[in-house]
């Protein structure tokens, strides 16, 4: 029973934290990526950064 409660709590916590992340391509996401060391970026992060942030083609809304 304790294990189930712990698993449920961890799942809910991870969902809450994921909901707080800015949407890829928004200006807020670009600012977050500027503060993240380049070695921590994934290939998809680097591609999205180049597509949205370098040329200022931000997605309009943080959803």
Residue 2 maps to a domain: no
Residue 8 maps to a domain: no
Q: In the chain, how many domains are there?
A: 1
Note the pLDDT tens digit of each residue in 14-52.
665 556 788 999 999 999 999 999 999 999 999 999 999
Domain extent for 36: 22-63
Residue 45 maps to a domain: yes
Spatial neighbors of 24 by CB under 8 A, at least 6 apart, are 48, 52, 59
Residue 43 maps to a domain: yes
More confident residue, 56 or 43: 43
Residue 27 maps to a domain: yes
- In 1-63, alpha helices (H): 2-19, 27-35, 43-48
pLDDT at 61 over 80: no
Residue 57 maps to a domain: yes
Query: Is the full-model pTM beyond 0.75?
Result: no
């Amino acid at each position: 029973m304790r294990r189930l409660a712990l698993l449920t709590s961890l799942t809910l916590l991870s969902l809450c934290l994921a909901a707080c992340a800015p949407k890829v391509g928004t200006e807020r996401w670009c600012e977050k990526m500027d503060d993240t060391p380049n070695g921590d970026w994934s290939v998809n992060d680097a591609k999205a950064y180049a597509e949205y942030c370098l040329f200022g083609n931000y997605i309009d809304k943080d959803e």
